[in-house]
Copies of this chain bind each other. A is one copy, B any other.
Amino acid sequence: MADRIELLGAFADPTRQAVLNLLRSRPSTVGELADRLPVSRPAVSQHLQVLKTAGLVDEERRGTRHYFRLNPKRLAELREHIDGMWRDALAAFSNFAAKESSGNDKRRKTRAYPTKRSR
């Protein structure tokens, strides 16, 4: 999806990471989170909106209290994205290793890397 950058940006911020870590144990309200963080309540509220827009948290309103909880599905998506990148990295590495060894069977005079780059 194109909103992956939005997802990653929301996920990476240090304060939002702290919020997400607090939500790992249980759902919490805005004030509850603000009490445990070194930033003001409005700041937490704003971060929660970002996280909600990114789909990383869900909101459930009960009276005046707004409970926020982690969204496992969205986290799974993020994990899959990283996992795909990890698999490609492994494949690229083994592929490179194979070519490197085949090229080094005998002492070669040709370079293992190109001398000129096509532009």
Contacts and interface: CB of A to CB of B under 8 A. Distances in A.
B119 A35 contact: yes
Contacts of A71: 89
Interface residues of A, number: 46
A31 B92 CA distance: 20
Interface in A32-60: 32, 35
B72 A78 contact: no
B96 A62 contact: no
Contact of A82 (B9, B31, B78, B89): B78
Contacts of A79: 79, 82-83, 86
B113 A27 contact: no
A72 B96 contact: no
